[in-house]
């Protein structure tokens, strides 16, 4: 019945739908992208080993805008010496690892050459543990490789498959900008999303990297500290902070000139950041839905006036007030639901298009779709009630006489 | 016990400056199975009386007993139930739902009576067949002639097997030939024992009934039985109406 009434006033209903659609669309769109972003970040973070925290020059999320950026830029880099100092002095730590991106470019084997998008990262033996990298064949890098700054490497699984389609990578060499590196091992595949590889890299001893590519001004290491267990975390962080402040000569009373973050703290930071976006979306879509609701109310009032005769007829043949009331509320709800459904479909489609563009995994936020539709029902009920009450309270005799 | 018993019914409308008395102490009894015409000049109070008889409206004072129960002071819900069960309306302007098919229109009273969809459909089809529209059930009102529309309205009025069929100028919007058809339908329904009350201006229409109640300025002016002579010729018996309190 409600659908019949809806179909009978196509244009008018369509215009009203737009408001609801926009409101729901914006909720679903942002929530879809956000969900994708969050899953991505969390999966990337979970790439860290257990009980591990990171030390970086830059914060993962800059809350301070351009001025903050400038402040971070003036900080001293984290250097090889800092890593060594931590290894010696941070006695609570189970291991301290370092990692530095050195270059990106084309890598070649005897058989194949890669696209120029392969990262060459310098690492320490401890990094494998800290990053949850598991060796599939061969071995990881060893302290001896670092001490001798040897030209050896461990391949990520993606690049290994690319360069050695037939297998047999061990003991072969790969060539990067004119230098041959002997392959001592390669890693297990690391799950990537949407075809985006997380292990398109080659790992060389950090010392080899520093010798060859230099400790350029801009290059700051990322340090990973692993603790013995979760309970040790806080104390270890404090000790690491103390050591770093000393070797970096941070005067007492000054804030740290480095960033310490753990999985938990990063996820929390991300959630805090997205909370602001979420609240913003909630406000915007509330306004859209409020406008839509007023539109619905307006249309329903017109509809009640136009259909006074119909109401009179229904009352004459036995409809009670509450029958008329529910009929008109239902119509308002159906209009809202149709608009909401379109909004959900467009929102999920748009959100996933955005996610695809950002190379994020596709998501369907079922909970938000349901919440969106529920909100539509509420809008329909809230704004349909007044017109429905008006309809129900029409006098049967008067409305039958209405021209 | 009469089916309908009106006792000293007043219906007054409070206007800004004055009070309009549409009905001024009407008393009237109608037995089950009667076929009554209510006549009177424009503004005499016919429609007001129809609305009261049909439980669409309640009297300002006086009592209305339907089937032996007082219905003059019921609340809105109870009146709706009474209309649904006891009253079938036929209007001058048909008053069908424009967007619904004939079948859906006839089903509607049963929707409010809470009849199951299957039973609804079955009964509506029977009712439409009874008024000769078995082959028009899926037509919308704008796809039907005036006479056919009024037949749908009659089918809708009768589908819940009401105690009374109330018709306000049922032939007012029909040409004379179609009007005669509808009146023939009424005659048939009356002969099957339905109680019918028709409001009309037209003497010709009134002569189909067995009793003519004339209203003037909100009062009953006369109440006479129709004596059938032969064929269409009819005349009035001079006999006074039965005493409502009898
Ligand atoms: N809602 C109302 N408010 C005020 N006065 C009313 C109302 N309804 C009817 N009346 C008055 O009551 C009187 C009777 O009206 P009613 O509609 O019953 O006449 P009627 O006999 O049906 O006339 P017609 O043949 O023209 O339909 C009229 O004087 C009319 O003005
Ligand atoms: Mg009238």
Residues with Cβ within 8 Å of B12's Cβ and at least 6 positions away in sequence, in order, are: B19, B20, B21, B22, B60
What are A385's two structure tokens? 């009630």
DSSP β-ladder status, B195-199 and B164-168: parallel
Which listed ligand is nearest to B22 at the C-alpha? 1
**Res A194: pLDDT:** 42
Helix residue ranges, H only, chain B: 46-53, 76-86, 102-113, 117-130, 146-158, 176-191, 203-206
Interatomic CA distance for residues A35 and A39, integer angstroms: 6
User: Which of B44, B60, B198 maximizes ligand 1 atoms within 8 Å of its Cβ, making it the mutation to test the pocket?
Assistant: B44
Cα B234 to ligand 2 centroid, rounded to whole Å: 25
Beta-sheet pairing, B87-90 with B164-168: parallel
Phi and psi, residue A387, nearest 5°? -60, -35
In a mutational test of the pocket of ligand 1, which residue from B14, B17, B38, B47 has the highest number of ligand atoms less than 8 Å from its CB?
Answer: B47
Q: Residue written as tokens 């301290």?
A: A96
B51, pLDDT greater than 80: yes
Element (H, E) at B166: strand B164-168
Contact indicator for B47, B92 with CB cutoff of 8 Å? no
pLDDT tens for each residue of A320-350: 999 999 999 999 999 899 889 999 999 889 8
Per-residue confidence (pLDDT) for residue A399, from 0 to 100: 94
Interval B177-201: pLDDT, tens: 999 999 999 999 999 999 999 999 8
Distance, CA of A366 to CA of A364 (rounded, Å): 6
Q: How confident is the model at residue B235 (pLDDT cuts 50, 70, 90)?
A: very low
Task: Say whether pLDDT at A20 is over 90.
Answer: no
For residue A307, the chain B residue with the least C-alpha distance is B97
Tell which phi-psi region holds residue B218, choosing left (phi > 0), alpha (psi between -120 and 50) or beta. Answer: left
From residue A199, alpha-carbon distances to A120, A177, B107 in Å are: 11, 20, 69
What's the rounded Cα separation, in Å, for the pair A4 and B99? 8
CA of A306 to the centre of ligand 2 (A): 23
What value does the mean pLDDT take over residues B66-94?
Answer: 94
Average pLDDT over residues A54-66: 74
Q: Determine, for residues B112 and A320 on separate chains, whether the beta-carbon distance falls below 8 Å.
A: yes
Give per-residue burial for B208-218: e unless 16+ CB within 10 Å, then b.
bbbbbbbbeeb
Cβ-defined contact of B91 to A319 (cutoff 8 Å): no
Beta bridge partners of B28: B6
User: pLDDT category, B132, cuts 50, 70, 90?
Assistant: very high
Percent of chain B with pLDDT over 70: 92
pLDDT at A4: 63
CA of B11 to the centre of ligand 2 (A): 15
Question: In this predicted structure, what is the pLDDT of residue B234?
Answer: 45
The least confident of A97-101, A354-358, B7-11 is: A354-358
Residues of A with CB under 8 A from a CB of B: 4-5, 8, 309-310, 312-323, 396-397, 400
CB within 8 Å of B215: residues ≥ 6 apart: B26, B38, B39, B40, B44, B45, B46, B49, B221
Cα(B48) to centroid of ligand 1, in Å? 6
Taking the CA of residue B177 and the nearest CA in chain A, the distance in Å comes to 26
Backbone angles phi, psi at A192, to 5 degrees: -115, 160
Query: What is the pLDDT confidence band of residue A195, given thresholds at 50, 70 and 90?
Result: very low
Q: Which of B48, B173, B200 to mutate to test the pocket of ligand 1 (most atoms within 8 A of CB)?
A: B48
Helices B76-86/A321-357 angle, 10° precision = 100
Secondary element (H or E) of residue A105: strand A95-105
**Do B108 and A312 make contact, defined as CB atoms within 8 angstroms?**
no
Q: Measured between alpha carbons, how far is B133 from A324 in angstroms, rounded to an integer?
A: 29
* pLDDT, tens only, B147-162: 999 999 999 999 999 9
Per DSSP, what are the bridge partners of residue B21?
Answer: B12
CB within 8 Å of chain A, chain B residues 216-235 = none
Q: Which of A280-289, A380-389, B120-129 has the lowest mean pLDDT?
A: A280-289
Q: Whose CA is nearest to atom 7 of ligand 1?
A: B13
Neighbour count for residue A253 (Cβ, 10 Å) = 5
Q: Please, what sign has the CA dihedral across residues A248, A254, A255, A257?
A: negative
Three-state DSSP class for residue A178: coil
Q: What is the pLDDT of residue A391?
A: 96
Residues A288, A303: Cα–Cα separation, whole Å: 22
Distance in Å, CA B204 to ligand 1 centroid: 23
From chain A, pick out residues whose CB is under 8 angstroms from the CB of B107. Answer: none
B112 neighbourhood in chain A, CB within 8 Å: 314, 317-320, 323
Identify the closest residue of chain B to A393 by CA–CA distance: B76
State the residue for tokens 């739908």: A17
- The pLDDT tens digits of the residues spanning A118-128 come to 999 999 999 99
Within 13 Å, how many C-alpha atoms sit on residue A212's CB side? 24
Question: Coil, strand or helix: which one is A180?
Answer: strand
Instruction: Give yes or no for a contact between A122 and A204, defined as CB atoms under 8 angstroms apart.
Output: yes
Q: How far apart are CA B50 and CA B34, in angstroms?
A: 16
Domains and CATH numbers, chain B: 33-45+80-240 (3.40.50.300)
Residues enclosing ligand 1, CB less than 6 A? B 13, 20, 22, 40, 42-48
pLDDT band at A268 (very low <50, low <70, confident <90, very high): confident
**Which tokens go with A15?**
């215009």
- Please check whether residue B164 is in contact with residue B92, taking contact to mean a CB–CB distance below 8 angstroms: no
Residue of A1, A316, A331, A394 to mutate, interface with B, max B Cβ within 10 Å: A316
Tokens of A219: 């290059």
Nearest residue (CA) to ligand 1, atom 14: B45
Contact B73, B67 (CB under 8 A): no
B109 contact residues in A (CB cutoff 8 A): 317-318
Report the percent of chain B where pLDDT is more than 90: 87
CB B30 within 8 A of CB B189: no
User: CA A158, CA A393: separation in Å to the nearest integer?
Assistant: 72
- Residue A215 pLDDT > 70: no
Distance CA A356, CA A365 (A): 15
Cα gap B2→B8, rounded to integer Å: 16
Strand, helix or coil for residue A179: strand
pLDDT band at B233 (very low <50, low <70, confident <90, very high): very low
DSSP, collapsed to helix, strand or coil, labels residue B56 as coil
């Amino acid at each position: 019945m409600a659908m019949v009434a809806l179909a009978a006033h196509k244009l008018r209903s369509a215009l009203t739908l737009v408001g609801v659609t926009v409101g729901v669309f914006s909720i679903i769109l942002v929530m879809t992208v956000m969900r994708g972003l969050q899953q991505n970040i969390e999966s990337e973070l979970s790439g860290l080993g257990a009980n591990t925290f990171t030390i970086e020059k830059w914060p993962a999320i800059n809350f301070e805008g351009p001025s903050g950026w400038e402040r971070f830029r003036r900080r001293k880099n984290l250097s090889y010496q800092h890593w060594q100092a931590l290894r010696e002095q941070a006695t609570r730590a189970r291991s301290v690892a370092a990692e530095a991106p050195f270059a990106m470019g084309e890598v070649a084997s005897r058989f194949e050459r890669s696209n120029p998008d392969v990262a060459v990262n310098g690492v320490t033996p401890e990094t494998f543990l800290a990053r949850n990298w598991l060796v599939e064949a061969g071995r990881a890098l060893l302290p001896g490789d670092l001490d001798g700054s040897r030209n050896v490497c461990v391949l990520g699984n993606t690049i290994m498959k690319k360069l050695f389609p037939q297998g047999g990578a061990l003991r072969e060499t790969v060539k990067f900008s004119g230098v041959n590196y002997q392959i001592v091992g390669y890693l297990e595949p690391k799950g990537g999303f949407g075809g985006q590889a997380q292990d398109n890299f080659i790992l060389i001893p950090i010392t080899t990297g520093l010798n060859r590519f230099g400790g350029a001004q801009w290059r700051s290491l990322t340090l990973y500290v692993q603790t013995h267990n979760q309970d040790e975390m806080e104390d270890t962080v404090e000790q690491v902070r103390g050591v770093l402040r000393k070797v970096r000569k941070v005067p007492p009373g000054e804030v740290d000139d480095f960033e310490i973050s753990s999985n938990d703290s990063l996820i929390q930071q991300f959630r805090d950041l997205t909370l602001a976006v979420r609240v913003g979306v909630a406000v915007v879509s509330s306004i859209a839905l409020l406008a839509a609701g007023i539109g619905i109310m307006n249309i329903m009032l017109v509809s009640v006036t136009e259909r006074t005769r119909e109401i009179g007829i229904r009352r004459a043949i036995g409809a009670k007030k509450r029958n008329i009331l529910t009929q008109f509320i239902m119509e308002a709800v159906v209009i809202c639901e149709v608009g909401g459904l379109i909004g959900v479909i467009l929102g999920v489609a748009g959100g996933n298009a955005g996610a695809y563009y950002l190379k994020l995994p596709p998501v369907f936020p079922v909970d938000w779709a349901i919440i969106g539709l529920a909100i539509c029902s509420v809008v329909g009920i809230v704004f349909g009630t007044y017109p429905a009450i008006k309809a129900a309270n029409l006098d049967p005799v008067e409305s039958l006489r209405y021209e | 016990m009469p089916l309908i018993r009106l006792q000293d019914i007043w219906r007054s409308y409070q206007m800004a400056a004055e009070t309009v008395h549409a009905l001024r102490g009407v008393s009237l009894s109608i037995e089950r199975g009667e076929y009554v015409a209510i006549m009177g000049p424009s503004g005499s109070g016919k429609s007001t009386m129809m609305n009261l008889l049909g439980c669409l409206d309640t009297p300002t004072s006086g009592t209305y007993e339907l089937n032996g129960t007082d219905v003059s002071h019921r609340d809105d819900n109870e009146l709706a139930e009474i209309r649904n069960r006891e009253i079938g309306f036929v209007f001058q302007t048909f008053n069908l739902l424009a967007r619904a098919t004939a079948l859906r229109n006839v089903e509607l009273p049963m929707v409010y009576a809470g009849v199951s969809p299957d039973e609804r459909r079955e009964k509506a089809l029977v009712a439409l067949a009874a008024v000769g529209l078995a082959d028009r059930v899926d037509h919308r009102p704008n796809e039907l002639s005036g006479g056919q529309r009024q037949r749908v309205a009659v089918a809708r009025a009768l589908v819940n097997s009401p105690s009374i069929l109330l018709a306000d100028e049922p032939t007012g919007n029909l040409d004379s030939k179609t009007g005669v058809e509808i009146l023939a339908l009424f005659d048939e329904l009356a002969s099957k024992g339905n109680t019918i009350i028709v409001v009309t201006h037209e003497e010709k229409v009134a002569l189909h009934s067995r009793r003519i109640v004339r209203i003037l300025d909100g009062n009953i002016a006369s109440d006479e039985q129709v004596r059938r002579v032969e064929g269409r010729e009819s005349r009035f018996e001079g006999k006074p109406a039965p005493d409502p309190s009898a």
